[in-house]
């Protein structure tokens, strides 16, 4: 959601206006000063409401593309992290499982094809991303690796704690029998 909101914000659409997008009408006093901007679009020639919120609006399409790309990246990073349920990626690298790499490469290739093949891009209402936008996708998707690694670390800690408790209980049980 944050990547979506950030894109609208960068384009000059305030959160209040985004919440009230359905009432966008530059003829009304509330919207008279509404002037979003989009890269590569001559905004003086375009209805501001259509530019920001329309079915083929450049701002909306960019925000949707960033959101979808971030979601795809997060899911593929989670899949790569799942190469081991309890060991860190630093210990068990994703290339240890070539099937996993193929299972990640295919959806990534399909997604990139969707973004850079003009007919598909138009059909799905998406835009091609530039390097800065891909950096934004990385900024919002890479933290999932930290979450996954922290979850594994916590799991290892709890497993070790449970294992030590079992060993101590077994030792007490055996010492009680010996006495």
CB 101, CB 94: distance < 8 Å: yes
How far is Cα 12 from Cα 153, in angstroms, rounded to an integer? 41
Q: Model-level pTM?
A: 0.80
Indicate the average pLDDT of the chain. 87
106 vs 36, higher pLDDT: 106
Reply yes or no on whether the pLDDT at 9 is more than 90.
no
Write out pLDDT tens, residues 87-131. Answer: 887 788 888 889 999 999 999 999 999 999 999 999 999 999 999
Return the C-alpha torsion angle 56, 61, 64, 69, nearest 10: 130
Question: In the prediction, which pLDDT does 116 show?
Answer: 97
Placement of tokens 């969707």 in the chain: 114
d(CA 44, CA 151): 50
How far apart CA 146 and CA 81 sit, in angstroms, is: 10
């Amino acid at each position: 959601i944050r990547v979506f909101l950030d894109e609208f914000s960068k384009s000059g659409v305030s959160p209040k206006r985004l919440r009230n997008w359905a009432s966008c009408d530059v003829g009304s006093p509330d919207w008279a000063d509404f002037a979003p901007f989009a890269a590569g679009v001559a905004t003086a020639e375009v209805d501001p409401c259509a530019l920001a919120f329309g079915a083929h609006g450049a701002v909306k399409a960019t925000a949707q593309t960033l959101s979808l790309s971030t979601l795809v990246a997060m899911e593929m990073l989670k899949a790569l992290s799942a190469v081991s349920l309890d060991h860190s990626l630093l210990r068990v690298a994703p290339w240890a499982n070539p099937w996993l790499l193929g299972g990640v490469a295919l959806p990534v290739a399909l997604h990139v094809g969707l973004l850079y093949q003009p007919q598909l891009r138009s059909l799905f209402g998406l835009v091609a991303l530039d390097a800065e936008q891909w950096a934004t996708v990385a900024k919002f998707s890479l933290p999932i690796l930290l979450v996954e690694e922290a979850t594994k670390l916590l799991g290892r800690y709890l497993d070790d704690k449970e294992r030590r408790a079992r060993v101590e209980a077994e030792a007490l049980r055996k010492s009680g029998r010996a006495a």
